[in-house]
């Protein structure tokens, strides 16, 4: 009785907005068995651990077609950080794909001439 009443510090929920954020939030919610995950949520503070992080990285690889190492997952533990990290890889993959298409187009044009 002598102890002060506990105070709860909660964060306001910020919903994922980009495609990567929404996809990642869906994966995290599924793995963590939660209804929703917000941009400021921390995977490990929500009850995540290394085995669940491994499951999440496997789902990221399967659904988003991006390889994310477990070390990267630990370095980017909030949804915002993780989505930003994945977005950089999505952008790099698109640039590589665009370069490949450009090279293929140049090859086809050379063959036509």
- Confidence label for 64 from pLDDT (cuts 50, 70 and 90): confident
For residue 18, give the DSSP letter.
S
Q: What is the pLDDT of residue 107?
A: 63
The tens digit of pLDDT for each residue in 4-46 reads 776 656 678 899 999 899 999 999 999 999 999 999 999 999 9
Rounded Cα–Cα distance for residues 48 and 33 (Å): 10
For tokens 């921390």, the residue is 42
Where would I find the H helices in 1-113?
19-32, 50-64, 70-75, 79-112
pTM: 0.71
| Three-state secondary-structure class, residue 66 | coil
- The residue among 93 and 30 whose pLDDT is bigger is 30
Fold of the domain spanning 19-112:
1.10.1200
Kindly report, residue by residue over 46-59, the tens digit of the pLDDT: 999 999 999 999 99
Between CA 49 and CA 62 the distance in angstroms is 20
What is the residue extent of each domain of the chain?
19-112
b or e along 32-42 (b: 16 or more beta carbons within 10 Å of the residue's beta carbon)? Answer: beeeebbbebe
């Amino acid at each position: 009785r002598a102890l002060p009443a506990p105070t709860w510090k909660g964060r306001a929920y910020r919903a994922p907005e980009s495609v990567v954020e929404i996809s990642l939030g869906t994966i995290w919610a599924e793995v963590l068995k939660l209804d929703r995950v917000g941009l400021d949520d921390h995977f490990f503070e929500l009850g995540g651990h290394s085995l669940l992080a491994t499951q999440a990285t496997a789902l990221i690889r399967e659904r988003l077609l991006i390889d994310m190492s477990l070390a990267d997952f630990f370095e980017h533990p909030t949804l915002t950080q993780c989505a930003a990290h994945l977005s950089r890889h999505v952008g790099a993959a698109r640039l590589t794909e665009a370069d490949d298409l450009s090279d293929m187009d140049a090859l086809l044009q050379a063959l036509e001439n």
